[in-house]
Amino acid sequence: MTLVPPVAKKVPHERTHHGDTFVDNYEWLRDKDDPEVIAYLEAENAYTEQQTAGLEPLRQAIFDEIKSRTQETDLSVPTRMGDWWYYSRTQEGKSYGLQCRCPVDSPDDWTPPSLSDNVPGEQVLLDANVEAEGHSFFALGAFSISRDGNLLAFSVDVEGDERYTMRFKDLRTGEMLPDVIEKTAPGATWSFDHSYVFYQTVDESWRPDTVWRHKLGTSTDEDVTVFHEPDESYWVGFGSTRSEKYLMIWVGSKITSECLVLESDNPEGEFRVVLPRVDGVEYSIEHAVVKGEDRFLVLHNGSVNGWGTDGAKAENFILADAPVDDPTQQTTLVAHRADVRLEDVDAYADHLVLGYRREALTRLAVWPLDSTGYGTYHELEFDEELYAVGSGSNPEWTQPLLRLAYTSFITPGQVYDYDLSTKELLLRKSQPVLGDFDASNYVQQRDWAVASDGTRIPLSIVRRKDVPDGPAPTLLYGYGSYEASMDPAFSVARLSLLDRGIVFVVAHVRGGGEMGRHWYDNGKTLTKKNTFTDFVAAAQHLISTGRTSPEHLVADGGSAGGLLMGAVANLAPELFNGILANVPFVDPLTSILDPSLPLTVIEWDEWGNPLADKEVYDYMKSYSPYENVEAKDYPSILAITSINDTRVLYVEPAKWVAALRATKTGDSELLLKTEMSAGHGGVSGRYEKWKEAAFEYAWIVEQTGAS
């Protein structure tokens, strides 16, 4: 029996705001407890399966390629913490990893051991395959070891709804402790004396809003509320400084932040505010010891003149030093620069590590602390045109080495230890890629498109060297929200596209953070359309320069990048032969108008508040993909979603596809695939993820016309 495209019934639902009434014919699809809704989603899945059945041999080939290139039995580079080396294992045939440790041979031993299958003294702390048994979905949330190395707090999610169950294990005996805490957020932090665990819970909108203190061995009924944030536009985080001297609560909206601290050796004490929140000012705190004195390092975007609001705003952030007892008395260490975005600072006993961004690339600098105070920092240099570098796992306050992670589009992930005394980079591991992979067969380069307002948009391009000149099959990826930067990264799976002659391009559009805070500010709220027109300019540039053609070009984006895909489909459908949209945020106005939905209020700083502001309402309505579906010839579209997604509800792509199918002209194919037991991150388990990648990549190969 040949299936025809499902047609969703129309049930008019009126929504009126600011004198404007919108008739939503598919809002009924929101009720996932309605058997008719489930039947419709399953009909869409069946239709998608039928229409892509011919791609099954290609899907299997791509899956086999990913599998054959992956060293399935592998180990991470061990990280030293206390008297143990901690690492993870993967084993052939198993979907999830194992968290393990082995003892440190001597106190002066900082060279990570070369591990084999039989590690002397190895302890398996957690086998996620055992935890996942009997569940169609599994995600590990917290994984926190007490300071003495004897206790483990971990949490798991087996639904995909990002609410975790926390449990505890005595690592000396291997026994599970009776304490169980339900419905937590992912993290857990031990007190200095390991008698308490601090954890968070979320409100009905999935906003982390409350910090709790649990005394090990007591009932959760006795857990103490340490902090609660009532303002729905703020989220709450928790952790401790690397020095372990302070416990820290972070409170933040998308434009304002606040930090509270408490000495770790006084876990029942009262947290105190470091710097009171100032609307529009973000800051973070790091504890350092300089010339024997406790100091706070304050990274903030207040005034270019220092902490406060007088003078121009330091949009790319300033780093300042301040005494712990009066953090307002700040001395600027790194001044504001328009071309450098300061992103983070990590403090150790005898040095700092600065993370920043210049010319759309990540940078790291090491800054020694000595008897005179702050020395001179120097930037680590790398020789590739495009790359990404960042600090790795460095849990110890005093250590002679700095763990780094490095990658590029053509360089598999590398783990280095930087020797602080000799300034040598010691390669500890390069991500294994099995088979005939040779990095020299591929090239990566930077190009620039020009937006309609004259702004130059960076493009990252990677391809095989032997791809001929002229219009080539091309996948153009974009995101462009939340100041998230799409940095260069190697992908084993992507080789299956590159080796079929597909050119992979990342458009670093405004709304992301690649070019500094102004890049973000000019792609949010009432400038959001720059994100979409930048992506269109990128596509036009690739076509006008002869790199590709519309019949060979596919666009790809997920979540907020899925909003980009939906907007581009309306703006310039003629530029693309296909659009892949993963968990796409394509009905943003409906969602942002409803404060009861998960995370909506927090999102107002990103998109604006259309409930309170007619200008915001009109602006969002003018670009919302769902409300701007028109009778035009759209490219083929594959939308993928998950029924338990709490961030972008499945109903958004379901409504969008239904509206497209009822409205479009032309014969392009519209497909909706809903994972019926997954969350925002999609399916779980590496083999299932490879199958999903193969499904998407086979569709991309077909739509780009690659061989």
Show which residues are catalytic: 559, 645, 680
CA distance 602 to 604: 6
CA distance 412 to 489: 8
Distance of CA 8 to the CA centre of its chain: 33
For residue 536, the number of C-alpha atoms closer than 13 Å in the C-beta half-sphere is 17
CA distance 294 to 578: 57
Which of these, 567, 612, 692, lies nearest to 95 by C-alpha position?
692
8 A C-beta contact, residue 537 and residue 451: yes
CA distance 287 to 262: 12
CA distance 213 to 247: 12
Distance of CA 540 to the CA centre of its chain: 28
CA distance 642 to 435: 34
CA distance 506 to 207: 31
Q: Which amino acid is at 667?
A: D
The number of helices, as runs of H, and strands, as runs of E, in the chain is 12, 40
E strand or H helix that includes residue 50: helix 35-51
Q: Where are the beta strands (DSSP E) in 9-138?
A: 13-17, 20-24, 74-75, 79-81, 84-90, 98-103, 123-127
8 A C-beta contact, residue 227 and residue 249: yes
Distance of CA 156 to the CA centre of its chain: 19
8 A C-beta contact, residue 536 and residue 500: no
8 A C-beta contact, residue 192 and residue 241: no
Sorted by sequence, the CB contacts under 8 Å of residue 39 that are 6+ apart come out as none
